[in-house]
Amino acid sequence: RAFERVEPSPPVEPVAPNQGLRMSRYAVEWDRIPDARSALRVVDETTASQVALPAAPGERVALCFRGFLDVPADDLYRFALRSDDGSRLWIDGQLVVDNDGLHAAVEQTGQRALGQGRHPIEVWWFNATGGVDLQLRWARPGEAFDAVPARALRH
């Protein structure tokens, strides 16, 4: 095996006094998450304690979870993003997990070296029609994946 040493992405020092993430809902007609999303009109906005779907999220809908991930220590973090339909995870503005497109529930993984502290996080999910699923889990090397705890999410 070849190993490469990577420096952890440094944390930011945001003013993020609240637990959870901001969750915005959009009405969409997607089969993939577009790169250009800034012109979308928010239908409603609330706070979510975790990256998870609210009850009956609906069809032809997209959700965006935004805030900060509070990382407990410098390390290489692995992320698992499960969704039905598409989803994508960005940390520090970098795409970490791409689980986009129309599909049944499937999980994709990615990893990023992160420094202790807070890092901007953004998760997009959409549902065209049919079943729905969204789960975000994380793990450090050698550990099993577990749900990202609510205490690690701030906005």
Global pTM value: 0.93
Nearest to 123 by CA among 66, 53, 61: 66
**19 burial via Cβ count (<10 Å: 0-12, 13-18, 19+):** middle
**One pLDDT digit (tens) per residue for the chain, 155 residues:** 777 777 889 888 877 889 999 999 999 999 999 999 988 999 999 999 999 999 889 999 999 999 999 999 999 999 999 999 999 999 999 999 999 999 999 999 999 999 999 999 999 999 999 999 999 999 999 999 999 999 999 99
Angstrom CA distances, 105 to 82, 87, 98, 123, stand at: 7, 11, 14, 16
Q: Which two tokens stand for residue 48?
A: 């979510």
